[in-house]
Amino acid sequence: MEDVSKRLSLPMDIRLPPEFLQKLEMESPEISKPPSRMSRRASLSDIGFGKMETYDKMDKLGEGTYATVFKGRSKLTRNLVALKEIRLEHEEGAPCTAIREVSLLKNLKHANIVTLHDIIHTKCSLTLVFEYLDSDLKQYLDNCGNLMSMYNVKLLRGLSYCHRHKILHRDLKPQNLLINGKGELKLADFGLARAKSVPTKTYSNEVVTLWYRPPDVLLGSTEYSTPIDMWGVGCIHYEMVTGRPMFPGSTIKEELHLIFRLLGTPTEDSWPGISSNEEFKAYNFAQYRIQPLINHAPRQVNVPIGSLLGVVDYKWKTKIPVLPLSLEKPAQCLEVFNSHRPSHYHTRLKTKDS
């Protein structure tokens, strides 16, 4: 059974159905010979993958425009899973967000990225089977107010992996960071994620939840890269250590107003080219001076709030981002630091030991 699990790249805790093992024994396949894609797909179907009856549906966890998420249990492993049931319209088929999420997550394997276990396609729905984590960062912050920034290290590790594989998440927010009692954190909901091309192409500016969307995208920019996610990291880090959102605007104008009131209204010196931006000119914002960030985070104690200024300011496109200093080990800090540096910085920074 162990040889079969390895041969088919199955989880080691899987309980293979007796009828499948019996069929395998009768066929007497050559264990050393790797299976073809077609035979592996047939074997997985025989085991129970791709079938709704393999999972027990339990409590409803949440519902959105296109999908409903249920808590479930796999009959193969007896482990809890999350069942994301996406409704299929007869004429439109599967939403593009679901297709995008599946195609990206199949190739993203990392401890800080949620695992996609299975895909079930029926006439009425497409169900994505994910590993189960019992909470998210938003629920934790609502219940506890704030938390230590150990989660920020895990967020950066997962995001660094995405960016190294040329994937932009484009929807970082506490609700999309799943956590559990073991202290694990995993990036989830890749429905808005995109594989970024080289050289940079233009993308949609209707991405990222409003509170975590950078000002250039709020002002209509469709040319962006990894800094779109790093702005969200800065906002989430602030929220972790203060217990409240950094820029909780209800409209694009209000969101920009909150950003400018804290970081100062941009000028040609702080943001070259801003004076020619038509949307910026149309809003006619008052002239604000930059405010000391520490004044807005009175509960901040040991984590330097100034470290946020590398990711939450107007020069993120032209400078090396200064990541939060909660990455206590230099090697960890520099790993993420180097992976997010702009392409025109060719020299990697090194620790004294490297």
How would residue 55 be classed by pLDDT, with cut points 50, 70 and 90? very high
Q: Which helix (H) or strand (E) holds 301?
A: none
pLDDT value of position 42: 67
pLDDT of residue 122 exceeding 80: yes
| Structure token digits, residue 295 | 């004044």
Active-site annotation holds for 171: yes
Q: What is the pLDDT of residue 241?
A: 78
Domain range list for the chain = 52-131, 135-339
Q: Which tops the pLDDT comparison, 315 or 112?
A: 112
Mean pLDDT of 297-318: 54
**Distance separating alpha carbons of residues 232 and 229, to the nearest angstrom:** 5
At residue 81, the pLDDT reads 96
Average pLDDT over residues 33-62: 79
pLDDT in tens, 186-231: 999 998 898 875 444 555 656 678 999 989 889 988 887 888 898 8
Candidate list 118, 136, 171, 229, residue with the active-site label? 171
The yes-or-no verdict on residue 331 having pLDDT over 80 is no
Helix axes 227-242, 137-144, angle to 10 degrees: 20
60 falls in which pLDDT band (50, 70, 90)? very high
Lowest mean pLDDT among 34-43, 62-71, 321-330: 321-330
User: For residues 273 and 17, which has the higher predicted lDDT (pLDDT)?
Assistant: 273
User: Between β-strands 167-168 and 177-179, what pairing exists: parallel, antiparallel or unpaired?
Assistant: unpaired
pLDDT at residue 25, rounded to an integer = 58
pLDDT at 285 over 50: yes
Pick the CATH number of 135-339 from 1.10.10.60, 2.40.10.120, 3.20.190.10, 1.10.510.10: 1.10.510.10
Q: What is the CA radius of gyration of the chain?
A: 23
* For range 301-326, the mean pLDDT: 48
Which CATH superfamily groups domain 52-131?
Phosphorylase Kinase; domain 1 (3.30.200.20)
pLDDT number for residue 40: 64
pLDDT at 256 over 80: yes
**Coil/strand/helix, residue 59:** strand
Look at residue 324 in the predicted model and tell me its pLDDT.
Answer: 37
Distance CA 237, CA 20 (A): 49
pTM of the model: 0.78
Can you give 83-99 as a three-state secondary structure string?
EEEEECECCCECCHHHH
Mean pLDDT of 304-330: 47
Instruction: Look at residue 351 in the predicted model and tell me its pLDDT.
Output: 36
pLDDT in tens, 291-307: 877 776 655 444 444 45
In percent, the amount of the chain with pLDDT more than 90 equals 37
How large a percentage of the chain has pLDDT more than 70? 66
Check whether 172 has a pLDDT greater than 60.
yes
Check whether 11 has a pLDDT greater than 50: yes
CA atoms of 167 and 136, how far apart (whole Å): 22
Mean of the per-residue pLDDT values for the chain?
A: 77
Asked if residue 22 has pLDDT above 90, the reply is: no
Residue whose entry in the numeric block shows the structure tokens 């990541």: 323
Contact 137, 184 (CB under 8 A): no
Task: Give the contacts of 28 (CB within 8 A, at least 6 positions apart).
Answer: none
